[in-house]
Structure 1
């Protein structure tokens, strides 16, 4: 008698078409998911390293430049004090007094000394000088606003919106699932409690930062993800939907990290890091070069201080004072302005950081 073959045996090992399509879809989503997690991890590390470089460079600059900054501050105070003594102790004609005050104001406008507010009795000519410089000050404020774009963007990223609400809900779901598994109170073994406590610190930090990628990394690291039946259409569909939603959030997170890094690099501090790296490739010590530039400015301001002191002590005439120090004649005005602008830009960036 011939052996009977079961008509259902072949179909038992053949997956329905819907299941096969779901498996293909799930495989593609999982590949995208893993790729996004890797890209986010690399970009997060790159951003953290860059910010740390910014802090380290700023710390090094302040440590090395503190004596120079102190000297500049002392010179600035001396010059303001000298002019105050000149205006209180010397008697000038109306036109001469205007010219002397104009010299004082020009030193402030060019950034050689710090600005002081004009008194209420400042005459019309000096008021016009202040008005002429207003456009330049407005431009400076605009630049400062641009440099603060990074901090503003950080606040924008933290602001609530409809999209962010949905993302926050998904992140919270992942957080609660992990917290349920790793909460120290869930176990009694002391060693396991300590281990869970450290894991919960990572989970809480990632949740507070809205870092879904990090939460998912923790989930994968400890292999506590949701298990599914690969032969269940419902399970596969649910898993695909979950991955789609997570991948959308991960894409947004990756784009935000790229934007944060770009904005960090565009800040004055970020530019200093970039310039320092470029200089290092050329064998140049950027901080040493900056300190030399500050020393040049200190020498210039010291000469101006001595020149003003000579005028206060009546060692030079009014006309000689209005003509300026003789050693400055050899410098072209354009070169002086470029030099001062560069130095002040470097100093301003470090002070604001």
Structure 2
């Protein structure tokens, strides 16, 4: 089989808690493909035919179950993986496991939808005005992860809707609110983002259509609605049922706290205390600013924010 990486590892939006997301496909090498077990080969052929409408949903679900079970059983015989389980009832059925050597969490699926959305984001990151998208998305992801609000399966706000919220904010708020010299200040942008979605954006009455670059009126409700740019008839934030009750209050509290840190005279002890409160669990390797200072002294060539000269993409490690 061939494996294609997608998700945060592909887009560069990784935080320490990020999984490695990958999709399994029939190998393009016929010699390798011919060695595949017959039941798995048939299952993957059925899954592939779903894209052309040649297989029913029932057939595809059955094929996915066969493929997931076969891969999970084979991995259990390997010494390289632990905590192997397959979930067939999820919106995107997956095999979950951990790589034994580095204890990295890995999610494997047979559906290529994640690859499409990852490519879509990478293309947007190259657009003018989106230069700060990556570091800002990483920080917002870390913030919601720190509070256990990043898992869509339990109502949290996932990486893709977070990315679209950040991109909308950069395109529609930053240039009109901040002077040029502040438009690349990650502290200013993060505080502004949290204030915008915590207290200003009326998500109960408005939805966001990023492709059309507009908001639209929706029936009053507590749900966050972001038109899925890959499948426009769907809401890519539908799973975020905790947005109104947990995520928005978090944004409100964090924006109020971070506002005081923008003062050049803010005491370092206060800065450390607040940032560790909001990010410590998501950045477990950072225990104190003293260690950050030591690393900066040891590696003076490292910058907090770096961009690739050719693509203008963010490649720095803001956490």
**TM-score scaled by length of structure 2:** 0.24
**TM-score scaled by length of structure 1:** 0.22
Structure with bigger helix share is 1
Structure with bigger strand share is 2
Q: Which structure has the larger Rg?
A: 1
Work out which structure has the larger RCO, using CA pairs closer than 8 Å and 6 or more positions apart in sequence. 1
